[in-house]
Amino acid sequence: MALNYIPISSTAELKSALKQIDENFRQIASENQTKTVAQNGGTALQEGKLKNGTYGIVLSDPSNVPRILIGFHRNGQPVIAVTKANINVFDALGE
């Protein structure tokens, strides 16, 4: 999802302006963590901070099983991993 900040009017009351500033910063913070693309009943793609605490990209199959990881092991080593059908890539890597 693209950052969708709301401009603050120069005539806005202070309380209203501060609330909008907080909301804009909240959106920026969430953009810097994880982005997901949904599919029926789950997540098709996830990028950013992953469940193992590292950063990367995970693609799931139509059954919502994470199958492809482009990112890092918890030990910091880079990895490109693809699993067989119905095998969770994190489980296969011992994450």
- What are the structure tokens assigned to 78, written together? 């880079």
Higher pLDDT, 71 or 17: 71
Q: Is the pTM of this model over 0.85?
A: no
Half-sphere exposure of 49 toward its Cβ, with a 13 Å CA cutoff? 7
- Range name among 9-23, 57-71, 81-95 with the lowest pLDDT average: 9-23
Mean pLDDT of the chain: 85
pLDDT for position 88: 95
In the chain, the percentage of residues whose pLDDT exceeds 70 is: 92
- How far apart CA 16 and CA 32 sit, in angstroms, is 25
Read off the amino acid at residue 51: K
Share of the chain above pLDDT 90, in %: 37
